[in-house]
Amino acid sequence: MVEQTLVFVKPDGVERGLVGEIFARFEKVGLKIVGMKMMHADKAHVQKHYAAHLEKDFYPPVENFITSGPVVAAVLEGVGAVSLVRKIVGGTEPHSAAPGTIRGDYAHMNYAYADGPAKAKGLRNVIHASGNEEEAKAEIELWFSKDELFDYKLLHEKHTRG
């Protein structure tokens, strides 16, 4: 089934100049970017995005981190997009994310460090990806208006028969 999902490169990924490399990985597997923008997420926006985590101990550093600089958000579309993107992104904790995944290749922090010396800074793990289809729909509505999403065909879609 063709799905849409939300990803955003977090401030650490933007600051390290990884945006192009990250989105190239998604395009190389056939996912289509149907919306993309750079923005500075304010606290109110981040609180809506992470509403399920507001009361958790790890939330304040997450909010501080996500609001510390610009993010690049995108809506990706493709067959099984939600699970495919999660596979490419890798596990939440960079230290245990598999090599070859975005977090496995570009992030190195672990939970122990994030809970210790870096507690006020939050876990740096480069990217966010929607966890499931329901979450993806809600996050896309939060981050993008309908007029910021585009319906178009990739070149290979224009040349297929059927």
Catalytically annotated residue among 49, 95, 128, 159 = 128
pLDDT for 56-102, tens place per residue? 888 888 899 999 999 999 999 999 999 999 999 998 777 788 899 99
Q: Any idea where the domains of the chain sit in the sequence?
A: 2-145
Q: Is the dihedral of CA 107, 108, 109, 110 positive or negative?
A: positive
Q: Mark whether 159 is an active-site residue.
A: no
Say if residue 48's pLDDT is above 90: yes
Question: Taking the model in full, what pTM does it have?
Answer: 0.90
Fold classification of 2-145 (topology level): Alpha-Beta Plaits (3.30.70)
